[in-house]
Structure 1
């Protein structure tokens, strides 16, 4: 049997994009930092998002049945930290500039890309909920420069990935 700590140590070596996943409904705006996000299919456009069932905002995502995935750039490390912290939701959204698309879930204005989604199916797997999310709108981030870099997580630390144009 594989121990949970051994699995977590091994998974720390899987480089992942850093995202802030958000929702908004009658109880307000909520969000969390997530690395467990991936594409499922392009027909129809669908993402998979995993969320710990013990997260304080878990019930809000279940109730709202909408979410947005905001892919973070290297400059967004403070936003990632805020959404991974014990700050209340209002304080978390005090970091960054936010807007909305089709579902009303908060979209980070300068994210590399944001996917606005409706949660179509939820499966409980161990400690997590797996959301199958149909993408209803996409906002590509504005191009600050050719030096944009993505924020990734590897070996329990943030790193930056991207290409810098050499002139």
Structure 2
């Protein structure tokens, strides 16, 4: 039995995931994209994986810079997610102008007051699989955001979860 691409995508739409803006900065330039394909790998050493489409123009920038920050979005940040997903036609600098940024250990942009948590990482390994690069990223620093709800992607749409969702 072969699973079609459409069957796989329909099934994955039923798997809720946090909405993240993944950023990088360095000699190759600043870039960012919206991602839900992010998960923990191990706590020793603390490592995440991030999936990035191989055809994305950001792919080479992330690999060349060797750093990234996973900014997990607060429940009220759908517009920012859309902008970093390419909706609205803004280029990288226009997207970054929509929010306030700082940095931690690696120099990758860390989202201020819009992230539930930020994981500042160094890319330690890249695995090419099908249409995507899987970036293994060792965590160098973490910034916890203010208590509140988070934004998830489920059923091909945004949904708030957590404290902000409870109050609504």
Settle same-fold status: TM greater than 0.5. yes
Tell me the number of residue pairs that the alignment of Structure 1 and Structure 2 aligns: 162
**What RMSD in Å do the two structures reach over aligned CA positions?**
1.2
What TM-score, normalized to structure 1? 0.93
- 1:28 shift after superposition: 2.4
Tell me which residue corresponds to 1:118.
Answer: 122
Q: Does 1:103 align with 2:103?
A: no
- 1:69 shift after superposition: 0.2
Instruction: Write the distance in 1 (CA, Å) between the matches of 2:40 and 2:153.
Output: 18
- 1:55 shift after superposition: 1.0
Please list every run of at least 4 consecutive aligned residues from structure 1 whose deviation after the TM superposition is greater than 4 angstroms. none
- 1:76 shift after superposition: 1.1
| CA distances 1:121-162 after superposition (whole Å, capped 9, x unpaired) | 00000000001110000011134xxxx111000000000000
Tell me which residue corresponds to 2:92.
Answer: 89
Unaligned runs of 5+ in 2: none
Q: Does 1:154 align with 2:158?
A: no
Give the alignment partner of residue 134 of structure 1, picking from 135, 138, 141.
138
Unaligned runs of 5+ in 1: none
- 1:56 shift after superposition: 1.5
Instruction: Write the distance in 2 (CA, Å) between the matches of 1:24 and 1:127.
Output: 23
